[in-house]
Structure formats: structure tokens, C-alpha cells
Amino acid sequence: MIVTAITMVWVAEGLNTALEFVVDIASPQKQRLAGWAKDVAAAAVLMASIGASVIGFLVFLPRLMARF
């Protein structure tokens, strides 16, 4: 589960970077919608990171609680 969570974040970051490059090529001038597209892609990476954190807590918290 941990490896899947980490991979999920890496994939989201890769897609975010690719989308930012495509937006920069398609819209070299500053555009409000282009900025929003980049923001949404960054938010998807944030959501993937939060999900990975939750998975990490679910996997490691019982082990940590058993130690204390």
C-alpha cells in the first residue's frame, strides 16, 4: 500500500508538470484560465499527497500504538 501511495503521488506530479509545460506552450501570454488549469493540476497533486499521508497513517499508526 505504501509503494502504491508513493507511486500515486509521483504520477500526479508528473502529470502536473506535463500539463504545466503544455499550458505554457499553448498560452505563452498570461491567461487567467491557464493559471486556473495549473492551479487545478497542483491541487490534484496535493490531494494525492493527502491520500498518501492517510494511507501512511493507516499502515503505521497501529504499529506505533503497539510500541507505546
What class is the 2-67 domain?
A: mainly alpha
pTM listed for this prediction? 0.85
Closest CA to 5 of 66, 51, 37, 61: 51
Question: All 3 cell numbers of residue 19?
Answer: 500539463
pLDDT of residue 11: 98
CB 56 within 8 A of CB 2: yes
Q: What pLDDT tens digit does each residue of the chain (68 aa) get?
A: 999 999 999 999 999 999 999 999 999 899 999 999 999 999 999 999 999 999 999 999 999 999 88
